[in-house]
Amino acid sequence: MAQGDGIDLCIIGAGPAGIAAAERAVARGLRVVLVEAGEFGGVAHNWGALPAQALAAAAERAHQIRTARDFGLGTDEPRINFARINARIRAMIQEASPTVSPEHLIAQRIETVSGRARFTGPSTLDVGGRSIKASHFLIATGTRPVVPDIPGLDGVPFFTPETIFEVTRRPSHLIVVGAGATGLALAQSHVRLGAKVTLVEMLEPLAGEDPELVDIVLRRMRAEGLELHTHTGIVSVAGGDDQDIVLDIKAGPHEDRIVGSHLLFATGREPDFQGLGLELARVAMQGRRPELGRFGRTANRRIFIVGDAAGHEGVHAARHSAELAVDAITGSVSKEGLVPRIVHTSPAIARVGMTEAQARAKLKDRFEIVRIALAQTDAARARAQPHGQVKIIIDSAGRVLGAGVVGPTAPELVPVFALAIARNMTLSELGGLVAPYPSFAQIIPLAVAEYARDHPGAAPAGWRRLLKRLLP
């Protein structure tokens, strides 16, 4: 398979997708070169998902202290030390860094190169004066924040989801622009850590997600103190340095003004292909995005694009796309798995498969919805965490087509539904699963029982029958 330098695969970007691809390729017997212009581990490890999760964990502890009275515990308002929180986050990143370090990768027979990559032709790459020729290339350069062009913004300091962790003192009033998954999660963390937070969104929060599930999360966030402006545009921004930041906003004919201490833009992201020279690599483009085929293959069949750069949101999705691309390169038979979508708010949202809107568009009225409130489980009662729901989409034969879960353990519950969809299982067959007591997983047999009340002939499957469906 090797050509030129004997390199089978050159990977650009050492984030989650790039590292997953490199490890998969080495396991397949390929000679791999991994190129990274910045920090190994990428945005997710150093400035994105990992520190955001650590911040959310601190915020969750503060929330637990604040609500301890619900359990008969007398406590005061938690004392928040932002400097110590951020010091812990940096220490945690350093503690996890050996798993993504060049030394760790080299030990796995992965050659690492530090420097900015640029294609010089369809099969050659320049990195700091070194020319790399490879049989295949895999681009895993991730994304970068998009900040809108707003009058006055040039003279105002602001943060992005990557730089917000530089704040060492609690903001007195944080203004967040953008109510996507990242904006909502960061807004909630800062609310729980005692900051006043105002969130501004031009459209609907979490546009593209199930509004029914989103509403549960938004009601909780508003109850915790989040001030949310939807369908609201920003007219101008003013202030800076030691001055307050002033946003003039407009919702329809109504104008208003928000005055805050800090400004965070979480207004989306775009693939980071800056300086790559994709035109020299003969990668066909649609506007600013490459044309991608199956497994991220470009018009230049030597080159694949995976991870966030290819539109796969979430570390788990990025890794999966990278592994599929490597399998395609090596000629391995590979099946695309169902990748859950996760929103890391509290409660979290997790969904997989078909949504209600998709089912309505495709199946018209030939589907059903089963809903069960999380509050119906004894675990929710015991833990005082009743805010959540399971929403299951099933076809006329009772087969599971999709599911959305809102709740504290939503990311852990949704793989059960992913397996059911992949195995073409009916909801009744999920009744064969024995949920531990007490646990949030009890919501699954409750959903089965709810369905069975309206479908008397749909009896839950026994273990033996269930195992036959699960095992290949």
pLDDT in tens, 412-452: 999 999 999 999 999 999 988 889 999 999 999 999 999 99
Residue 465 has pLDDT above 70, yes or no: no
- How far apart (Å, rounded) are the C-alpha atoms in residues 281 and 72? 65
Residue 146 binned pLDDT confidence (cut-offs 50, 70, 90): very high
- How far apart (Å, rounded) are the C-alpha atoms in residues 262 and 420? 45
The whole-number pLDDT of residue 335 equals 80
If you average pLDDT over every residue of the chain, what do you get?
A: 93
- How far apart (Å, rounded) are the C-alpha atoms in residues 218 and 119? 45
- Work out the average pLDDT over 41-49: 94
- How far apart (Å, rounded) are the C-alpha atoms in residues 281 and 100? 28
Question: In terms of Cα–Cα distance, which of 337, 428, 300, 411 is closest to 49?
Answer: 411
Instruction: Give the β-pairing of 173-177 and 196-200.
Output: parallel
- Work out the average pLDDT over 188-207: 97
**For 364-405, what is each residue's pLDDT tens digit?**
999 999 999 999 999 999 999 999 999 999 999 999 999 999
The whole-number pLDDT of residue 3 equals 41
Place of tokens 């709740």: 407
- How far apart (Å, rounded) are the C-alpha atoms in residues 426 and 430? 7
The whole-number pLDDT of residue 113 equals 97
Residue 260 has pLDDT above 60, yes or no: yes
Residue 458 binned pLDDT confidence (cut-offs 50, 70, 90): low
CA dihedral over 32, 6, 140, 12, signed as positive or negative: positive
Residue 350 binned pLDDT confidence (cut-offs 50, 70, 90): very high
Amino acid at 261: S
- How far apart (Å, rounded) are the C-alpha atoms in residues 26 and 17? 14
Distances from the Cα of 361 to the Cα of 260, 367, 370, angstroms: 43, 11, 18
Q: What is 7-145+270-330's CATH topology?
A: FAD/NAD(P)-binding domain (3.50.50)
For residue 347, cis peptide bond before it (omega within 30 degrees of 0): yes
The whole-number pLDDT of residue 454 equals 86
Cβ–Cβ under 8 Å, residues 469 and 429: yes
Query: Distance between the two ends of the chain, CA-based, in angstroms?
Result: 33
Residue 470 has pLDDT above 70, yes or no: no
- Work out the average pLDDT over 326-345: 91
- Work out the average pLDDT over 345-358: 97
Domain boundaries, the chain: 7-145+270-330, 153-268, 347-470
Residues 6+ apart with CB under 8 A from 144: 269, 270, 272, 274
Residue 463 has pLDDT above 50, yes or no: no
Question: In terms of Cα–Cα distance, which of 351, 345, 452 is closest to 405?
Answer: 351
Cβ–Cβ under 8 Å, residues 13 and 140: yes
Cβ–Cβ under 8 Å, residues 191 and 78: no
Residue 75 binned pLDDT confidence (cut-offs 50, 70, 90): confident
Percent of the chain exceeding pLDDT 70 equals 95
CATH superfamily of 153-268: FAD/NAD(P)-binding domain (3.50.50.60)
- Work out the average pLDDT over 116-132: 96
pTM of the model as a whole: 0.93
The whole-number pLDDT of residue 432 equals 83
Which H or E element spans position 229? Answer: strand 227-229
For residue 438, cis peptide bond before it (omega within 30 degrees of 0): yes
| Residue 219 in tokens | 């009601």
Instruction: State the virtual CA torsion across 72, 413, 310, 363 in degrees, nearest 10.
Output: -120
The whole-number pLDDT of residue 216 equals 98
The whole-number pLDDT of residue 2 equals 35
Residue 464 has pLDDT above 60, yes or no: no
- Work out the average pLDDT over 37-56: 95
CATH superfamily of 347-470: FAD/NAD-linked reductase, C-terminal dimerisation domain (3.30.390.30)
- Work out the average pLDDT over 302-312: 96
Say which DSSP state 430 is in: G
347-470: same fold as 7-145+270-330?
A: no
- How far apart (Å, rounded) are the C-alpha atoms in residues 94 and 96? 5
Q: What is the 3-state composition of the chain as percent helix, strand, coil, each rounded to the nearest 5?
A: 40, 25, 35
Question: In terms of Cα–Cα distance, which of 100, 229, 141 is closest to 177?
Answer: 229
